[in-house]
Copies of this chain bind each other. A is one copy, B any other.
Amino acid sequence: MPDAARSRRLKPEQREAAILDAALEAFARHGFADARIEDIARVAQVSKGSVYLYFPTKQALFEALVRRDIGPRVAMARGFLDAYDGPLEIALQNLADMVSAIIDSGQTPIYPRLLVAESQRLPELVDFYRREVVGVLLAALSGLFARAMTKGEIAQDDPVMLAHLFVAPVLKALMWALVFTPTEPEPFRAGPYLAAHIRLFLKGLQHA
Binding site for B on A (CB under 8 A): 28-34, 113, 115-121, 123, 126-127, 129-130, 134, 157-158, 161, 164-165, 167-169, 171-172, 175, 178-180, 182-184, 192-193, 196-197, 199-206
In the assembled complex, the Cα of A184 lies from the Cα of B119 at a distance in Å of 12
B175 touches A165 (CB 8 A): no
Interface of A is mostly: helix
Which of A29, A30, A169 is most buried by chain B, counting CB atoms within 10 A of its CB?
A169
- Closest-CB distance, A4 to chain B (whole angstroms): 26
Assess A120 versus B180: contact at CB under 8 Å? Given A168-B171, A169-B168, A171-B172.
no
B197/A165 in contact, CB under 8 A? yes
Known A-B contacts A165-B197, A201-B200; A183 and B116 likewise in contact (beta carbons under 8 Å):
no
Contact of A126 among B31, B118, B165, B180 (CB under 8 A): B180
Given the complex of chains A and B, what is the CA–CA distance between A65 and B103 in angstroms? 31
Q: Which 10 residue pairs across A and B have the least CB separation, nearest first?
A: A33-B33, A117-B117, A200-B204, A204-B204, A168-B172, A168-B168, A168-B169, A203-B204, A119-B179, A116-B116
| B31-A193 in contact (CB<8A) | no
